[in-house]
A and B are shown apart, each in its own frame.
Chain A
Amino acid sequence: MSAEAVPGPDGPSGAEGPERSLNSGAASPVSVVACPDGPLLIRGDFELVGADGQELPRTRRTVALCRCGASVLKPYCDGSHKLTGFRSEP
């Protein structure tokens, strides 16, 4: 699917537009959900890059970023926040 413009009722129509590695449908605004006691859930069309500007390995469109510090898959969440009893509210 292309990320360009608004798709018709049957979905994205043409082959024009930038190639995308993940099925992203139409371009959509990025939303970040701060999950209580858990990760930041990021949806929409965004790029995740390292300090060197290179895109980080990513296999899914929506990702959960660790904000508890305990994940061994950083920057992604691996569910460790549940074991450490991380609290997002003071």
Chain B
Amino acid sequence: MKQPSARGDVSALVLATIAATVESAQDGLARLGAVTRAAVAGTPDILHDDDLQLALFCLYELHYSGIDGAGDDWEWNPDLLRVRQCIEAAFEARVRDEVDLGDLPGTTSEAVCAELFRLTGDDSGPSMSRFVSKSASNDQLREFLVHKAVYQLKEADPHTFAIPRLTGRSKAALVEIQADEYGNGLPARMHSALFARTMRELGMDDTYGAYLDVTPAITLASNNLMSLFGLNRRLRGAIVGHLAAYEMTSSQPNRLYSRGFKRHGYGENATEYFDEHVEADAVHEQIAGRDMAGGLVEEDPRLLPDVLFGAAAGLAVDTLMTRHIMDAWESGGSSLRRSEAMAS
């Protein structure tokens, strides 16, 4: 990914640090630690903090496709990991505050699956899919793709980190879902490739990270949440719950998204990504709920609260993201950081 623009002291220092060699960056690293602690202590709301969310996003990106100009030896640098953990701890605490799990269900696969369907069926918050289907303008469709692109151009990757941490039934189920996400051996059928084609159909740049500078903090937070869950083994229950919630809230919204793009005259090349998800996720949600999440809890009942937390956290943060986007659109504005960048 190309280097994004900094949004404050922490992200500026992170970007400057990883652009240097490990040997030459020692002074910067010491300062980065102190600046990060101060920023984390002083932020009014880390979920909407552009500087901290971008810094965390860049630190996670070292584990994915990397950042142009950043040496590979930064990935496991202990000082940089300490900075990441400082932001992560505050981020996780804030998300836990946002979520109320209520009474826990039983620990059988069926009970876990039923609870996940109940949780994901609770229709609170604004509906972006209904709006996209009926009313979104062409510019709003493009904005919508900008928000989605952060995840969808690497769709499934954060959850793949969980595979070696699972065993037996839950592992087989996760792999079954991921194989489908990755096109069952056909690169052109990878969901990320289908999404890239949708972007190209709308005349957009499908390079990963191309629109990162206009992507607001809350959209980065939605992505950082998956990386937090995926990259920490202790949160393996949460990444499983998160994936289950994503699968369970996908079929119907994607049908509506597809309709919104058809309404503007876009053809199959643009809508196939969404159409594919209607059918795929009707399968995935059953496998995810019963075999992956339910199977994991049957194997290790202590993970039940984490599974439900992961699901609820994903829904809660994405509800905040949707609210941010819909509020901007309802007031006639843009949900992005600087709308000029979209004019190209």
Q: Which residue numbers of A lie inside 8 Å of B, CB to CB?
A: 22-23, 33, 35-36, 38-39, 41, 59-64, 71, 73, 76-80, 82-83
Contacts and interface: CB of A to CB of B under 8 A. Distances in A.
Contact of A82 (B110, B117, B179, B255): B117
A36 B110 CA distance: 9
Contacts of A64: 282-283, 286
Max chain A CB contacts within 10 Å: which of B250, B255, B283? B283
Interface string B262-286: 0000000000000010111111011
B252 A41 contact: no
Contact of B282 (A22, A59, A79): A79
Contacts of B48: none
Nearest to A63: B283
A23 B189 CA distance: 14
Interface residues of B, number: 25
14 contacts: A22-B184, A38-B286, A39-B286, A41-B283, A59-B276, A60-B180, A62-B176, A62-B283, A63-B283, A64-B286, A71-B282, A78-B255, A78-B282, A80-B252
Contacts, number: 60
A61 B157 CA distance: 21
Given A59-B189, A62-B176, A73 B279 contact: yes
A21 to B, nearest CB: 10
B121 interface: yes
Given A60-B180, A61-B184, A79 B285 contact: yes
B242 interface: no
